[in-house]
Structure 1
Amino acid sequence: MQTNLSEAAKRLPRAEEAESILRNCVHCGFCNATCPTYQIVGDELDGPRGRIYLMKQALEGGEISGSTQMHLDRCLSCRNCETTCPSGVDYHNLLDIGRGFIEQQVPRSPRDRLLRAGLRTVVPRAGLFKALLRAGNAFRPLLPDSLTSHMPREAIPARPRPQVQHARKVLILEGCVQPSLSPNTNAATARVLDRFGISLTPAREAGCCGAVDYHLNAQDAGLDRARRNIDAWWPAIEAGAEAIVQTASGCGAFVKDYGHLLRGDPQYAEKARRVSALAKDLVEVLREQDLEKLAIQTDKRMAFHCPCTLQHAQKLGGAVESVLTRLGFTLTPVPDAHLCCGSAGSYSITQPELSKQLRDNKLNALESGNPEVIVTANIGCQTHLDGANRTPVRHWIEIVDEAMA
């Protein structure tokens, strides 16, 4: 695709990257065939090809309007189009660049600014989120469904973590909302890894991975969080930590991108590259172990929802399914497993109508094989799907932990 960036766009820190990505696109349209929003809305501008044209127009000095921003906001950033694209278009990075540029040109409504500021204030702060969730549970009967659908339907307390310290150690990103919404997930992870002689080491100074800020177009704030995490993890990395484990694939996808996003920062570029190399989803650690040691005893039928951040961003589609099958679990078939559930970080809050349609479609597919439970690998997907009050949705490692002999 021929591209001529405007003088304003040429001054962007990632101008050359944007131009290179645009030129890779041959506008074939294969991406639209697997785009969840295009399938629902049917508008060319709500598919990847149309959004690429909108960003191209903006970066070349063309008209930018609220409609431009709306169509980009509707994108889930699921990266299904990247999996489909025969030309290898790096769509998600172009989307970040385009959204950031357009954010500077188009003022948002006061309501939209307040909503986004609220999300950026509450979600990354684990203590504040926990306090608000506790208050929400106390007044749950008085709250509207639009709020209670984002809260756990039942409290599953965390069981104790192992106290034995092994020679093999991995760091873990505890997460922002997961300790409150699903407090047993990381505890279950610690107990399962303990069976293989691996200890989890929380880095208390580490906080939000930065994805919430970054994907709400506060990109500088998101990168600052990334730098703070690198500083928090660095002593343990130098002491020999084998990996930085994430149990939320959304966080994992972003941490694995630190090296790319900070490659132009002379102080952090090399450290960020090493952190990204050490970042692993939990399944990447477990699939290398002797799984027979877990002595699983189960006849549970499960459907696995593979989050977009696991299958499209981290290219780990089928990895969890393989581990669960090796452990003896029965997995039911899931039609259209490549499609997004509609959670997509804060998307379920900023785009509630589209998100709900995607959720209901996904649940219909997941429940088609009559599973007893649905399992997933990302807290956002877990909370979003479970909020429909249909088949229970859990993190897959909790089910493994419960089935260990």
Structure 2
Amino acid sequence: MQTHFTAEDLQKPHIREADRVLRTCVHCGFCNATCPTYQLLGDERDGPRGRIYLIKEMLEAPEGSDKVTEETRLHLDRCLTCLNCETTCPSGVEYHKLINIGRAEVERRVPRKASERALRYGLRKALVEPKRFQALFKLGLTFRPLVPGVLRDKMPPAPVDAGKRPEGSRHARQMLILEGCVQPGLSPNTNAATARVLDRLGIGLTPVAEAGCCGAIDFHLNAQDEGRARARANIDAWWPHIESGAEAIVQTASGCGAFVKEYAEILADDPDYADKAARVSELAKDLVEVLRDEALDDLEVKQGRRLAFHCPCTLQHAQKLGGAVEGVLTRLGFALTPVADAHLCCGSAGTYSITQPELSKQLRDNKLDNLEAGNPEVIVTANIGCQTHLNGANRTEVRHWIEIVDEALA
């Protein structure tokens, strides 16, 4: 793709990066064939190729240009950032870098209405602090009929009891675990089950209280500086443990894992944190990356249930771990039902299901139709956002896959 940036424009790091990525695009349109929003809406501007053109046009336009409007922002907002397009692209276009640059730029040029700003600010403040979220969640359960429908659908009747966590310090092998923001409130058993399963394999887990939200929520709601600040805070919290020999930083939510693996990228220009961020991204492991390399026969799983696995976009497209969980579950004796269009997003996409509820519900219902086609006993996934979003339809139960493994241990 040809670009027309001035020499002055190219002095700006974000323009220089956008220019590099734009020039790799060859207009082929393969990306549109696997884009969930393009399939629903059929609008070129709601597919990756169209959004790339919108971003190019915006970045090349002078300040105050009438080419940059609320409609520009609408089409960028509708992007799920599922990265299916990156998996499909034969030219290796780093679309996620362009969409991050484009969203930050349109946010600066076209201010949102006060109501939209309030919603996004509220989501950032409500979701990123675990204690605050759990307090709000308990309040919501008490006054459930008064909670807006789009939020009420995401609230389980009550969280599953987490059960007891083993004492991890007794093991020679030690890993850190990122507890997450909303997962401890919505599904506290996920991390507890992880600790129990890894304990069986001789691995101890250490939660680090000072480590908070990974930063993805802020970053993807266009508060990118705040997202970077959270990344730095987590690096500071983990660093003493890393220096003491922690083997990995485990994430049980694939959305968090995908973003922690991006720390090296988003802090590459920070002289104080670039090297540490690169080390943290190297140590970041989705839970399945840990289990697939272990002797799973040692777990002595008693029986296998009939499962349908929903592979989150952040696992298969961002982390490139498609098929990994299915491989582990099959090795453990579980029967997996076939799932059509498994590459497509369920519509959760972080806060997308709240900011774009209509599109999100269409994607959710399509995904559930495919997941339920094989009559599974339960649907399992690897991300708390997908789990709560799919459960909001009140159809087949959806849980984290590690909980099912934990329950099946002899």
Q: TM-score when scaled to structure 1? A: 0.98
Is 1:64 the counterpart of 2:48 in the alignment?
no
Is 1:51 the counterpart of 2:51 in the alignment?
yes
Structure 2 contact 304–332 (Cα < 8 Å) conserved = no
SS of the residue 2:373 aligns to:
helix
Is 1:393 the counterpart of 2:406 in the alignment?
no
- Provide the C-alpha distance between the structure 1 equivalents of 2:297 and 2:390, rounded to a whole number of angstroms: 31
Tell me the residue number matched to 2:4: 4
Offset of residue 351 of structure 1:
0.2
Is 1:280 the counterpart of 2:290 in the alignment?
no
Deviations 1:140-199 (A, max 9, x none): 244343221011134311011001521100000000000000000000000000011100
Deviations 1:28-67 (A, max 9, x none): 0000000000000000000000000000000111610000
* Unaligned ranges ≥5, structure 2: none
Tell me the residue number matched to 1:38: 38
Aligned length: 405
Tell me the residue number matched to 1:81: 85
Is 1:162 the counterpart of 2:166 in the alignment?
yes
* Unaligned ranges ≥5, structure 1: none
Structure 2 contact 166–199 (Cα < 8 Å) conserved = yes
- Provide the C-alpha distance between the structure 2 equivalents of 1:90 and 1:155, rounded to a whole number of angstroms: 38
Structure 1 contact 252–279 (Cα < 8 Å) conserved = yes
1:141-156 correspondence to structure 2 within 5 Å? 141-156=145-160
- Provide the C-alpha distance between the structure 1 equivalents of 2:85 and 2:159, rounded to a whole number of angstroms: 37
SS of the residue 1:349 aligns to:
helix
Structure 1 contact 153–389 (Cα < 8 Å) conserved = no
Deviations 1:43-93 (A, max 9, x none): 000000000000000011161000000000000000000000000000001
Deviations 1:205-235 (A, max 9, x none): 0000000000001100000000000000000
Tell me the residue number matched to 1:224: 229
- Provide the C-alpha distance between the structure 2 equivalents of 1:47 and 1:2, rounded to a whole number of angstroms: 19
Aligned residue type for 2:250: V
Aligned residue type for 1:150: K
Q: 1:380 to 1:6 in 2, by over 3 A?
A: farther
Is 1:120 the counterpart of 2:121 in the alignment?
no
Aligned residue type for 1:32: N
Q: Among residues 239, 242, 247, which one is paired with 1:237 in the alignment? A: 242
Is 1:214 the counterpart of 2:222 in the alignment?
no
Structure 1 contact 373–391 (Cα < 8 Å) conserved = yes
Once structures 1 and 2 are overlaid, which stretch shifts more, 79-88 or 297-306? Answer: 297-306
Tell me the residue number matched to 2:341: 336
Deviations 1:86-120 (A, max 9, x none): 00000001100111111100010111000000011
1:178-189 correspondence to structure 2 within 5 Å? 178-189=183-194
Aligned-pair identity (%): 69
Q: 1:6 to 1:117 in 2, by over 3 A?
A: farther
Q: 1:11 to 1:352 in 2, by over 3 A?
A: farther
- Provide the C-alpha distance between the structure 2 equivalents of 1:203 and 1:222, rounded to a whole number of angstroms: 19
- Provide the C-alpha distance between the structure 2 equivalents of 1:250 and 1:109, rounded to a whole number of angstroms: 28
List, as ranges, runs of 4+ consecutive aligned residues in structure 1 with deviation greater than 6 Å.
none
Aligned residue type for 1:355: S
Structure 2 contact 159–185 (Cα < 8 Å) conserved = no
Tell me the residue number matched to 1:25: 25
Aligned residue type for 2:303: T
Tell me the residue number matched to 2:327: 322
Is 1:375 the counterpart of 2:380 in the alignment?
yes
Structure 1 contact 172–203 (Cα < 8 Å) conserved = yes
Deviations 1:269-303 (A, max 9, x none): 00000000000000000000000011111241000
Structure 2 contact 37–79 (Cα < 8 Å) conserved = yes
Q: Among residues 168, 192, 199, which one is paired with 2:197 in the alignment? A: 192
Structure 1 contact 335–365 (Cα < 8 Å) conserved = yes
Tell me the residue number matched to 1:366: 371
Structure 1 contact 341–385 (Cα < 8 Å) conserved = yes
SS of the residue 1:369 aligns to:
coil
SS of the residue 2:13 aligns to:
coil
- Provide the C-alpha distance between the structure 2 equivalents of 1:232 and 1:16, rounded to a whole number of angstroms: 33
Structure 1 contact 153–387 (Cα < 8 Å) conserved = no
- Provide the C-alpha distance between the structure 2 equivalents of 1:222 and 1:190, rounded to a whole number of angstroms: 28
Q: 1:370 to 1:9 in 2, by over 3 A?
A: farther
Offset of residue 6 of structure 1:
5.3
Deviations 1:368-403 (A, max 9, x none): 000010000000000000011000000000000000
Structure 1 contact 191–401 (Cα < 8 Å) conserved = yes
- Provide the C-alpha distance between the structure 1 equivalents of 2:259 and 2:195, rounded to a whole number of angstroms: 22
- Provide the C-alpha distance between the structure 2 equivalents of 1:93 and 1:277, rounded to a whole number of angstroms: 20
Tell me the residue number matched to 2:136: 132
Structure 2 contact 383–400 (Cα < 8 Å) conserved = yes
- Provide the C-alpha distance between the structure 1 equivalents of 2:43 and 2:116, rounded to a whole number of angstroms: 23
Structure 2 contact 311–342 (Cα < 8 Å) conserved = yes
Structure 2 contact 141–157 (Cα < 8 Å) conserved = no
